[in-house]
């Protein structure tokens, strides 16, 4: 499925077993060009799986959610670049120092883009209040997402991670150049997968997302290729 929409869909390999991940990649074949590898699969399978995916011609979004001292973030981003990853994530809540360290480290790898995670898509306004972050305007998570997106842009990040329902406001803030990658998308008849601020992939694209990350709607579907095709054919570019 070589189309502009297909190239903007990242399938999340949220497995705890390398063979299960490899089986899905084989089943999707040329229908998918980009995969997300998160901490669960990276811990279970090790970095060789990332090298294998890159060697097959796939782009890999390495979702590390780095939140460490700048020196450690620098080392981790360099390791991601050496593996051939196309995207790597760092927590915007870590502040400018952490994000700037990631950006500086990524300069050694022209194909690696640094994305700042704003507010994890499982969190709500009450969760932010629990950790002492006030959203006094009553806008819930929106206020914090925009604050962190602005900070990420100033730090030089290539883009941000935000929920589908925030993509429009973030796009208006950042303009057309930055990436906005949206997890928490599912088909209308699918499960939210624990995401508190979910929406459909088409809504995310329409709002201004550059990419969507699709998990269970594809990976747990009886026919993953058909599920992915449904997203591609039903999507509308903004």
pLDDT at position 237 is 44
Residue 1 lies in a domain: no
**36 catalytic, yes or no?**
no
CB 166 within 8 A of CB 160: no
pLDDT at position 24 is 97
Residue 94 lies in a domain: yes
Residue 112 lies in a domain: yes
Q: How many domains would you assign to the chain?
A: 1
pLDDT at position 184 is 81
For position 84, which CATH number holds?
3.20.20.70
In order along its 238 residues, the chain shows pLDDT tens digits of: 567 788 999 999 999 999 999 999 999 999 999 999 999 999 999 999 999 999 999 999 999 999 999 999 999 999 999 999 999 999 999 999 999 999 999 999 999 999 999 987 665 566 566 556 665 554 567 888 999 999 999 999 999 999 998 999 999 999 999 999 999 888 876 555 555 567 899 999 999 999 999 999 999 999 999 999 999 987 444 4
Q: Which residue in the list 18, 51, 65, 220 is annotated as catalytic? A: 65
Residue 190 lies in a domain: yes
pLDDT at position 234 is 78
- Nearest-angstrom CA–CA distance, 106 and 150: 20
Helix axis angle for 70-83 and 96-106, nearest 10°, is 30
Domain span holding position 58: 6-234
Helix segments in 177-223, DSSP class H: 201-207, 216-219
pLDDT at position 132 is 60
CB 130 within 8 A of CB 198: no
Residue 101 lies in a domain: yes
């Amino acid at each position: 499925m070589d189309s502009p929409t297909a190239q903007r869909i990242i399938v999340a390999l949220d497995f705890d077993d390398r063979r299960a991940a490899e089986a899905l990649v084989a089943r999707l074949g040329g229908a998918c060009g980009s995969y997300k590898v998160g901490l669960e699969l990276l811990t279970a399978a090790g970095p060789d799986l990332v090298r294998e995916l890159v060697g097959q011609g796939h782009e890999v979004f390495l979702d590390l959610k780095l939140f460490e001292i700048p020196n450690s973030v620098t080392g981790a981003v360099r390791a991601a670049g050496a593996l051939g990853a196309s995207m790597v994530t760092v927590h915007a809540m870590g502040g400018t120092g952490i994000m700037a360290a990631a950006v500086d480290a990524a300069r050694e790898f022209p194909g690696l883009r640094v994305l700042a995670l704003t507010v994890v898509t499982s969190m709500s306004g009450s969760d932010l209040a629990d950790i002492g972050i006030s959203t006094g305007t009553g806008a819930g998570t929106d206020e914090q997402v925009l604050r962190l997106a602005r900070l990420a842009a100033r730090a030089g990040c290539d883009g941000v991670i935000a929920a589908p329902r925030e993509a429009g406001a973030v796009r208006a803030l950042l303009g057309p150049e930055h990436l906005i990658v949206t997890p928490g998308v599912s088909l209308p008849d699918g499960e939210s997968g624990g995401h508190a601020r979910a929406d459909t992939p088409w809504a995310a694209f329409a709002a201004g997302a550059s990419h969507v990350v699709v998990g269970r709607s594809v990976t747990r579907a009886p026919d993953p290729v058909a599920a992915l095709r449904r997203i591609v054919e039903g999507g509308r570019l903004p």
